[in-house]
Amino acid sequence: MKHKAIKITIGLAFLALLIVTQVNADDQDFLWIEDNNQVTFSYYDMHFIAKAGGQVPKFQFMTDAGFEYNVMFHSLTEYLDYNEDGVFQFNETGLWKEEAPPGPVFSNTLPLSSVRFIFNGFDVEYTEGTEELSAVHFNYTSETINAPNYGDFEITIVVHLYLNDQVVDGYELIGGQEMKFDVIMNNWPWQREDSNLAMRFDIIPMNTAYNYRLNDTNGNPVNTKENTTGYEYKVLNHGDAVKEQISIGDEQYQAFFAYANQAQYLINNSYEYKTVNCSVSSLGDGSVQTYLSFEHFDDEVTYDPSVGTLEDPVIDKAGFGVIEIVTISSVSVLAITLLSRKIGKK
């Protein structure tokens, strides 16, 4: 009897640990769970994943059918725009090619794997006057940075999940099909007064069963068959919309990594918007290196890219789906999963 009692106690304790809260919205059951700093978000057949904690922050999209890609937040690099084209090229990382440095020189690239992030959350929103879940927010904040001369630098990644279409500072978000994350940076240790900062994201298709094609925001194919490192080319922003995007897909499925063509700068206690430009290259392995370029800033800069899909989720005809958010301490994960019986298109 004692043995059975112990099993029952452990089972009940585990259940109490996992099930935090559950609400209904649009005939769907929404469930979010926190367990040791790992976050999981589920919505029908789509999975969004965010990881940060002692590794390069990763944002991932996948479907139950096997379509999958990763966006790795690789590094930050201070560079001097020698050709004045407003974007990063790999041969511009040498800050002191043409003059002697005024003081000690240190690495002008910060790998994001050297940053230890901690999880904070959740901030949950409901439609006013109802119990309908409308958004979930949480963040990763830098606690320590294992790189010389970067001890005062601070970076926060704020993740947003909206279940309805939203326009945020001119950036149009697709409800339930897009994960937005703000990158907030303070106290970058500049070595020059006339340099820029490049934020590198690597886009990596994962399932070779799909014939992935990657096109830039103007619809031009990105050459991923050859190593073009050192030959990064500028991607011109298209039109008046704030949102630019690199499409990732094949004949049957279309997803994207989107980025804003402007960033918010804190200058003398007020905010201003300045242009962000993009350049791309490839290692020749099917991946794309995306460099987003920021003008020199003294205080704080906020930037908001996203990952998502243009395809509607596959929905149970009975109208049942589950959103789950789970937290586990070693890493933080954000994902979207199908929980259904009969399948139909939205």
**Separation between Cα atoms, residue 23 and residue 163, nearest integer Å:** 14
- Residues 18-27 have a mean pLDDT of 40
Q: What is the pLDDT of residues 123-149, one digit of tens each?
A: 889 999 998 889 989 999 999 999 999
Supply the pLDDT for residue 122.
84
Is residue 318 scored above 80 in pLDDT? no
Is residue 12 scored above 70 in pLDDT? no
Q: What is the pLDDT of residues 268-279, one digit of tens each?
A: 999 999 999 999
Supply the pLDDT for residue 81.
97
* Span of 12-26, 194-208, 219-233 with lowest mean pLDDT: 12-26
Cα distances from 303 to residues 52, 64, 156, 258, 262, in angstroms, run: 17, 30, 11, 12, 8
**Separation between Cα atoms, residue 186 and residue 302, nearest integer Å:** 9
What single DSSP character describes residue 283? B
Q: Of 304, 290, 276, nearest to 248 (Cα)? A: 290
Q: What is the pLDDT of residues 63-116, one digit of tens each?
A: 889 999 999 999 999 999 999 999 999 999 999 988 889 888 999 999 999 999
Q: What is the pTM of this model?
A: 0.84
303 neighbors 181 (Cβ within 8 angstroms): no
Alpha helices by DSSP H, the chain: 2-18
Strand 277-281 relative to strand 233-235, pairing: antiparallel
Q: Of 187, 177, 201, 153, nearest to 305 (Cα)? A: 201
**Separation between Cα atoms, residue 198 and residue 222, nearest integer Å:** 19
